[in-house]
A and B are shown apart, each in its own frame.
Chain A
Amino acid sequence: MTGEVASKPTRHLHRPLLAPSVGALFLWMAVPLAMTLWFSAEHYNLLSPGKTAFAGWENYRDLLTHRALWIAMGNTLFLVGLVLAITLIFGTLFSLLLNQDFPGRNVCRLLIIAPFFVMPTVSALIWKNMLMNPVFGLFAWITRSLGFGTIEFFSRMPMLSIVLIVGWEWTPFAVLILLPALHSLNPEQIEAARLDGGGPIALFRYIQLPHLLRPMAVVAMIEMIFFLSLFAEIYVATGGGPGLASTNLAYLIFRDALLGFDVGRASAGGVIAIILANIVCFFLMRVVGRNLEDLR
């Protein structure tokens, strides 16, 4: 009977309790959203504020007909999809490893989850300057010593480099959620499976994996929230470049707004980003919402 309505006489009291949070979030959504929509239909540049004019669909047409937006969208989806896959696969793998008993297991766990707590700007710095830097970086030294020359991470494969960085940061998050889930698996189920003759692979496929599907959904949902508007790593590591190669939607809009001062165009980009996020999240909510069904 957890969480159920107890006594009703004080029911009227609880609505004002909820109101400030709902109100704040609603304001946060409604007002800026409305403004974004408004600006997206204007020619408005901060450098020439007096010359604002109604633009109608022009900003959108502009954006949609130029490569930049499509490249950015492609990069965004590429980033989200690939990092999601990496974190879920490696997260599961690492969790399976950490689920076993061996000396120093707790320390290993702490080491593996550490990257998640590191500031994204610092993460990007470490990878960019200390590891991936073609001149001074550690990777360069390793590959050169082995005779492979230098991999120019950020010039040759900027998007993949970002994926690597973000994957490194967020795989620990998947472990944080999936490992306790594995741990909570009823040991009797596992014993029963063993008695039925199941080896480790069968065990994983038929018992552990189904149990993990729910927490995986949680991981996916939270990661989506953060990946769709990934910003700091790109800002620090590549600045969106070379060219537009590692620009995602968030960075593109930022560039238009705060580097180009083009409010109208940035707002239109913002609207497109919101629509994209809504589409992605709609599908995701369906999956997660079903898991939240047992909200007793």
Chain B
Amino acid sequence: MATVELRNVRKQFGTHEVIHGIDLLIQDREFIAFVGPSGCGKSTLLRMIAGLEQVTEGEILIDGSPAQDVPPAKRGLAMVFQSYALYPHMTVAENMSFSLRLSGTPKAEREQKVRTVARILEMEPLLERRPSQLSGGQLQRVAIGRAMVRQPKAFLLDEPLSNLDAALQGQMRLELARLHRELNTTMIYVTHDQLEAMTMADRIVVLNQGNVEQLGSPLELYQHPATFFVAGFIGAPKMNFLDAEVKTVDAQHLTLMLTTGTSITVPAPLQKLNANEKIKLGIRAEHLALEPEGELRGEIEALEHLGPRAYLHTRLADGTRLVAQTDGDTQARPGDHVAFRARSEATHLFNSSGKALTRSDPQAEPC
């Protein structure tokens, strides 16, 4: 139960800076996810919070007191590693009680704590087994159990589900969410899978190349991405992007000339725009509707049938590719020539430096 604050945290490996001045305040008891592509620094950030990496510059405060020079064990945090990192030569019970053994807790108390945690995680029959005899999901539980026994101020989870198969991943996501509610403890969760972050976290930090792109709730990130990167990273299928040039703009409307040769009119942003300025237009698959008079014309290259819906992968006149969502019982076929209309209120605009252009009335945008 604790807040974790990062103030201007920087990390250098040699002369190479990988984390550039991050400020972050993690609330007590929240489930926050660090998400981003490989190499964005999310694991490094987590390890700095844990104390496994030194902070080059900046401060890390746990519950208000500076912790960047405190050794890992004394920070009151517990970590669940991606590869579980269980001690192969110890039984499950010994794995879980190792930290208590090191701190001199009497045997009876150790056993009681281990049993309590084992009960919560439903793994009592596994206590005398060794890691080599356990399945992936069971190893997961032991790793989590080992962290829980320490009754930490916050849990740090480094891509804990990435080594599990898809079915188990789905199940464990629910388990972790349930655990979070039950334990009511801060959880800092690192993942490269935006779906995991979206389904489990209270807030998400999107990282890219050592910088925070955006911090917000899953819905905020989905509906109002602050940068081109966040827009393309969050949400599956990926948001469609069209290159465009500003044709005309007034207080209400913005008309863009697309590279396909057609123009499209959308609500104008608050920011001032010049004529012929290059803009990227973003639109999600679910906001494209099949319409014979639509401004986006192309040929279907492939279809994905997902049951309740289908995705049409379309190639536009100038080679730009689009993914549009439609009903599951669509009669469309590859090779069909189709046209889409974009829901203009649901479009996103990004300037040439990747920043999102905001509109005046967020409530006007649908979900």
A contact set with B: CB distance below 8 Å: 6-9
Chain A, Cβ-Cβ closest to B43: A1
Tell me the bound Cα distance from A74 to B53 in angstroms.
Answer: 56
Contact with A along B52-81 (1 / 0, CB 8 A): 111000000000000001011000000000
Which residues of B in the span 20-53 have a Cβ within 8 Å of any Cβ on A?
51-53
- What are some 13 contacts across the A-B interface (CB < 8 A)? A6-B52, A7-B51, A7-B52, A7-B53, A7-B54, A7-B71, A7-B72, A8-B53, A8-B54, A9-B51, A9-B54, A9-B69, A9-B71
How many Å from the CB of B127 to the closest CB on chain A?
28
Tell me the bound Cα distance from A6 to B52 in angstroms.
Answer: 6
Tell me the bound Cα distance from A8 to B12 in angstroms.
Answer: 13
Chain B, Cβ-Cβ closest to A11: B54
Please, how many residues of chain B have a CB less than 8 angstroms from a CB on the other chain? 7
Chain A residues near B71 (CB-CB < 8 A): 7, 9
Tell me the bound Cα distance from A9 to B53 in angstroms.
Answer: 8
How many Å from the CB of B300 to the closest CB on chain A?
38
How many Å from the CB of B242 to the closest CB on chain A?
41
Chain B residues near A7 (CB-CB < 8 A): 51-54, 71-72
Tell me the bound Cα distance from A9 to B54 in angstroms.
Answer: 7
Chain B, Cβ-Cβ closest to A6: B52
How many Å from the CB of B299 to the closest CB on chain A?
39
How many Å from the CB of A273 to the closest CB on chain B?
41
Chain B interface secondary structure, helix, strand, loop or mixed? loop
B contact set with A: CB distance below 8 Å: 51-54, 69, 71-72
Tell me the bound Cα distance from A7 to B55 in angstroms.
Answer: 11
Chain A, Cβ-Cβ closest to B83: A1
A-B contact sample (10 more), CB < 8 A, given A7-B51, A7-B54, A9-B69: A6-B52, A7-B52, A7-B53, A7-B71, A7-B72, A8-B53, A8-B54, A9-B51, A9-B54, A9-B71
Q: Which 6 A-B pairs have the closest CB atoms?
A: A8-B54, A7-B52, A6-B52, A9-B71, A7-B72, A9-B54
Chain A residues near B51 (CB-CB < 8 A): 7, 9
Chain A residues near B69 (CB-CB < 8 A): 9
Point out which of A6, A7, A8 has the most chain B C-beta atoms below 10 A from its C-beta.
A7
Chain A residues near B72 (CB-CB < 8 A): 7
Chain A residues near B54 (CB-CB < 8 A): 7-9
Tell me the bound Cα distance from A106 to B115 in angstroms.
Answer: 47
Tell me the bound Cα distance from A199 to B52 in angstroms.
Answer: 53
How many Å from the CB of A10 to the closest CB on chain B?
8
How many Å from the CB of B216 to the closest CB on chain A?
31
How many Å from the CB of B91 to the closest CB on chain A?
24
Chain B residues near A6 (CB-CB < 8 A): 52
How many Å from the CB of A218 to the closest CB on chain B?
28
Tell me the bound Cα distance from A8 to B72 in angstroms.
Answer: 11
Chain B residues near A8 (CB-CB < 8 A): 53-54
Chain B residues near A9 (CB-CB < 8 A): 51, 54, 69, 71
Tell me the bound Cα distance from A230 to B362 in angstroms.
Answer: 85
Tell me the bound Cα distance from A280 to B308 in angstroms.
Answer: 73
Tell me the bound Cα distance from A7 to B79 in angstroms.
Answer: 14
Chain A, Cβ-Cβ closest to B69: A9
Tell me the bound Cα distance from A8 to B51 in angstroms.
Answer: 9
Tell me the bound Cα distance from A277 to B107 in angstroms.
Answer: 60
Tell me the bound Cα distance from A257 to B72 in angstroms.
Answer: 59
Tell me the bound Cα distance from A7 to B75 in angstroms.
Answer: 14
Tell me the bound Cα distance from A8 to B71 in angstroms.
Answer: 10
How many Å from the CB of A252 to the closest CB on chain B?
50
How many Å from the CB of B118 to the closest CB on chain A?
29
Chain A residues near B53 (CB-CB < 8 A): 7-8
Tell me the bound Cα distance from A8 to B52 in angstroms.
Answer: 7
How many Å from the CB of B85 to the closest CB on chain A?
11
Tell me the bound Cα distance from A6 to B54 in angstroms.
Answer: 10
Chain A, Cβ-Cβ closest to B82: A1
Tell me the bound Cα distance from A230 to B99 in angstroms.
Answer: 53
Tell me the bound Cα distance from A8 to B69 in angstroms.
Answer: 11
Chain A, Cβ-Cβ closest to B51: A7
How many Å from the CB of A162 to the closest CB on chain B?
48
Chain A, Cβ-Cβ closest to B52: A7
How many Å from the CB of A137 to the closest CB on chain B?
53
How many Å from the CB of B45 to the closest CB on chain A?
15
Tell me the bound Cα distance from A6 to B51 in angstroms.
Answer: 10
Tell me the bound Cα distance from A54 to B53 in angstroms.
Answer: 59
Chain B, Cβ-Cβ closest to A10: B71
How many Å from the CB of B81 to the closest CB on chain A?
10
Tell me the bound Cα distance from A9 to B71 in angstroms.
Answer: 8
Tell me the bound Cα distance from A215 to B111 in angstroms.
Answer: 49
Tell me the bound Cα distance from A7 to B71 in angstroms.
Answer: 9
Tell me the bound Cα distance from A9 to B51 in angstroms.
Answer: 9
How many Å from the CB of B123 to the closest CB on chain A?
27
Tell me the bound Cα distance from A8 to B50 in angstroms.
Answer: 12
Tell me the bound Cα distance from A42 to B15 in angstroms.
Answer: 52
Tell me the bound Cα distance from A9 to B50 in angstroms.
Answer: 12
Tell me the bound Cα distance from A222 to B72 in angstroms.
Answer: 42
Chain A, Cβ-Cβ closest to B50: A7
Chain B, Cβ-Cβ closest to A1: B83
Tell me the bound Cα distance from A8 to B68 in angstroms.
Answer: 12
Tell me the bound Cα distance from A7 to B69 in angstroms.
Answer: 12
Tell me the bound Cα distance from A44 to B71 in angstroms.
Answer: 60
How many Å from the CB of A9 to the closest CB on chain B?
6
How many Å from the CB of A1 to the closest CB on chain B?
9
How many Å from the CB of A52 to the closest CB on chain B?
54
How many Å from the CB of A296 to the closest CB on chain B?
15
Tell me the bound Cα distance from A7 to B51 in angstroms.
Answer: 7
